[in-house]
Amino acid sequence: MWLDSQHRPIHLRYMSVVRQRPPALATVVLTAGVVVVGAQAFVLAPLLPDVAAGLGSTTAEAGRALSAYGAGIVASALVLGRRLDTLPRRAVLMAGMGALAVAAAGSAVAPHWSLLALAQLLGGVGVGVLLPATYALAAELAPPGAAARATGRVLTGWSIALVAGVPLATVLGDAIGWRAAFGALAALCAAQASLYALLPSASPGGPSRGALIAALRAPGVATLLTGVLAFMAAFYGVFAFVGVEVRTLHGGGATTAGLVALAYGIGFGVAAGADRLLDRFGTARLVAPALALLAAVYLALAATTRAYALFLAIAVVWGLVNHVGLTLLLSRLAEVAPGRRGAVLALNTAATYGGAAVAGALAGPVYEGVGFGWLAVTAAVLLALAVPVTAARRTPS
């Protein structure tokens, strides 16, 4: 146990310091940071054909920047994550967002796809520490018994980025070019880095030696990370091809696919209104049922692809249940080992993008081989396998 000069546990002293700042202001700042991260994550995909043409490369070569971004996140979370509980959250957030600003600026001026990939790698390194620090601070600022509500509010940043970021990226790309779009993103990142100055500067003061191993061994962490891996592999695998499927079946171009993303984003955002109920009923007991319900949603997606209006309605439910499931997983991970919260959430980030990597490797062959319906069924099976694992009584309530 790490004690201060007054013989109080250091992480408890840290909690009392950070709660001196108005939680509402901090929540807004943290949510805005997630919006910026989401914009960075979503901006490249819709602009990929324009980027490839501008760099004189193939779409596959330009697309390697997406892989570099994800690799940077996983590497950063695993290599730097052990330090997250020894450094001030504010400093980590500012450094991570600064790296993202440099990455966006570098992407804007990249003359070759390899340099674009290098810039995106740097952005991933920044996000790999930025996201766990954001989620950790959100939980630390929350009043007792309100961790899920605080986490859910910050997670709405992803919904905002999805609903507004993808269309805005497309508009900017068409209006001012993809390089100017990345330049605008760099300015947005720089502005967000300055906003982090409004947050508390205290450090949790935890140990760094063996932090990730100790975090992984904390009661409940491994089972929850199994849920995260299944959750994210299912989401990224299905989301990557849902637009392709509806365009193939129903035509209408990018608008047809965009409405599915919009429906999902609306459901994800609306679900934030129910986050206080998660704290009331107890997050520990709800994780496994939420994953089981999400498996059922994927089965519904598989069954309704040819009925476009019904499919859009299911997409709203998909976003709603995904928000609930993600909020539960994150809030539980933030609660099970308070003294190692940063390290635990760094492992969550690694598992998140590890799941994305699994989806990237396997979803394409499944979609091309047996179609979208079976891809969604595969996602449902993944989640169903995670249900008994997360239901096991290994997670403290």
In the structure encoding, which two tokens stand for residue 298, read together?
């994927």
pLDDT at 14: 44
Burial class, 83, CB count within 10 angstroms (exposed 0-12 / middle 13-18 / buried 19+): middle
CA 198/CA 110 separation, integer angstroms = 33
Query: Which tens digits make up the pLDDT trace of 269-285?
Result: 888 777 777 767 777 78
Global pTM reads 0.80
Q: CB-side exposure of 94: number of CA atoms within 13 Å? A: 13
| Residues with pLDDT less than 50, the chain | 1-22, 394-395
CA 236/CA 341 separation, integer angstroms = 25
- Residues 250-256: contacts with CB under 8 Å, at least 24 apart: 250/308, 254/170, 256/308
- Nearest in space to 225 (alpha carbons), one of 348, 356, 357: 348
**Coil vs helix vs strand at 305:** coil
User: For the chain, which residues make up each domain, given as ranges?
Assistant: 10-208, 212-391
- Residues 364-369: contacts with CB under 8 Å, at least 24 apart: 364/240, 364/241, 366/237, 367/241, 367/244
Query: Which tens digits make up the pLDDT trace of 77-105?
Result: 988 888 888 888 899 999 999 999 999 99
Query: Rounded to the nearest 10 degrees, what angle do helices 59-80 and 23-55 cross at?
Result: 150
- At the top level of CATH, the class of 10-208 is mainly alpha
- At the top level of CATH, the class of 212-391 is mainly alpha
